[in-house]
Structure 1
Amino acid sequence: MQALHYFNPQSILDTLVSVGAAFVLGSLIGLERQVRQRTAGLRTNTLVAVGAAVFVDLAQGLTGNEGAVRVIAYVVSGVGFLGAGAIMKEGINVTGINTAATLWGSAAVGACAGADRIVEAFVAASFVLAANTLLRPVADRINRNPLDEESRESSYTVQVICHGRERAVVHDRLIEWLEADGYPARHVEQIPFGREDVHIQAILYATSVVPEQLDAVMERVEQMPGVTHAFWSASAQDG
């Protein structure tokens, strides 16, 4: 029987040590996540580490180090898809990125253990835990500090409400005057507004403006025939 042919007590002991190390280290990483009640907690991180260790250990036993290297590459990409499932976007808010990165770290720990690099697995797990614990208060403190207005990047939007018959002229003059003051438009959109009016919205390339300059442009636009409102606004950019 092939099963008896492949039965090797020394190989089984080696696998037990590798998978056992992945189990312990993955559990430590997952325990920290479970305490913080994250999406991927104790069991998920443990299973990721154990699964990576088993795949790498099996490949190494069958084809040696070359096969283990190929499987590690597949583990990296496979866990990337798993981590993507933990990332959720609700409006402008994105959550789960740290959880996905932790799963990736657990897979790296398991891969080290499966390749019989136990010391490296302990080192990797230590740094993953340190990133999630020691750096957490540092990140929280930074997030609580408001940004100075000078260092904040903003997106500037110019908005004009005009009569539909005048929209072509208003559009051309608006773009012309903005470019003359050094504020070219990155995107311009015309949206129906009521029965006869049109809402012209222009998003500028600039990340900072001189308010007086834009105010002057808006005053000129508002004096044009058919224009009822002309104003600009600023909003903080993501990332």
Structure 2
Amino acid sequence: MQFIEAFDLLSLLDTLVSLVVAFILGTAIGAERQYRQRSAGLRTVVLVAVGAAAFVDLSMRLTGPEGAVRVISYVVSGIGFLGAGVIMKEGMNVRGLNTAATLWSSAAVGACAGTDRLAEAAAVTLFILAGNTLLRPLVNAINRIPIDEGGSEAVYEVRVSAESEKVPAIRQKMVAQLKKAKYPVAHVHLTAGSDNVTEIVARLVSTTAKTKELDAVMEALRLVPGVRHANWEVNTTY
């Protein structure tokens, strides 16, 4: 039987050590994710770490370090697909990126354990936990800082509500005013509304702008005959 020929107690013990270490370290990472009620919690992180360790350890036993390197590359790409499953888009917001990155990093822990680099696996685990816990206060502090529209990359749109019969002239005037203020327009689209009113929306090429300059353009557009309302808005990019 192949089992009797291939069985090696020392190799088995070595594999068990790798799997146990991957299990323990994966539990430490997953417990933090479970506590935060993330979509990929304790069991998922543990399975990723143990699975990566098992694949890498098996390749080490069968083909040596060269084979392990190939398997590690497959693990990295494979976990990428798994991580994509926990990423969700809600309107302008994207959720799950941090959880996906944690899964990816957990595979690195398993790969280190699978190649018997146990100290390295422990070190990676500590850095993952530090990133998910110690950096949280810094993230919260940054998020509380008011957004400076003039210094952030963003998508700027100018919206003008105008009488439908005067839209061509008002559109031309709006583009001219923005160009004069050195804010070129990427494209303009029209949305027909009720009461013979059409909304003109111009998206700017610029990713940064100064509030006072755009406010001045809005004041000028509000004086144009046929303009009912003029304003601008910004959506920051991520």
Q: TM-score, normalised by structure 2?
A: 0.89
AA at the equivalent of 1:213: A
1:34 matched residue in structure 2: 34
Q: How many Å apart are 1:174 and its aligned residue?
A: 2.3
Report what 2:108 is aligned to.
108
- Tell me the CA shift for residue 18 of structure 1: 1.0
Task: Supply the RMSD in Å over aligned alpha carbons.
Answer: 2.1
**2:159 maps to amino acid:** Q
Matches within 5 A, 1:38-187: 38-148=38-148, 151-153=151-153, 155-187=155-187
Shift of 1:35: 2.1
Alpha-carbon distance in structure 1 between the residues aligned to 2:166 and 2:234: 28
In structure 1, what is the Cα distance between the partners aligned to 2:159 and 2:199? 7
In 2, Cα distance between equivalents of 1:90 and 1:201:
23
Q: What secondary structure is seen at the aligned counterpart in 2 of 1:89?
A: strand
Change (3 A) 1:101 1:191: same
- Kindly provide the amino acid, as one letter, of the partner of residue 183 in structure 1: Y
The structural deviation recorded for 1:9 is 1.1
**What is the aligned residue count?**
235
Identity among equivalent pairs (%): 49
Q: Report SS of the residue matched to 2:175.
A: helix
Contact 1:181–1:213 (CA under 8 A) maintained in structure 2: no
Moved more, 135-144 or 37-46: 135-144
- Spell out, residue by residue over 1:124-169, the C-alpha distance to the aligned partner (whole angstroms, 9 max, x if none): 1111111112222222223233345654555433223334443333
User: Structure 1 unaligned runs (5+)?
Assistant: none
Matched, 1:16 2:16: yes
1:232 corresponds in structure 2 to 231
| Alpha carbons 2:33, 2:41 under 8 Å: kept | yes
Deviation (angstroms), 1:230:
4.0
Structure 1, residues 59-83: CA drift from partner, whole Å, max 9, x if none?
1111111111011011111111111
One-letter amino acid of the counterpart of residue 168, structure 1: P
TM superposition score normalised by structure 1: 0.88
Partners of 1:191 and 1:159 in 2: how far apart?
Answer: 10
Give 2:216's match in structure 1, choosing from 184, 209, 213.
213
Greater mean alpha carbon deviation, residues 1-10 or residues 108-117? 1-10
Within 2, Cα distance between the matches of 1:237 and 1:119?
A: 41
Alpha-carbon spacing, 1:126–1:93, altered in 2? closer, same or farther (3 Å): same
Asked if the contact 1:152–1:236 (Cα under 8 Å) also holds between the matched residues in 2, the reply is no
Partner secondary structure for residue 64 of structure 1: helix
Deviation per CA, 1:29-51, whole angstroms, max 9, x where unpaired? 11122222222222111110000
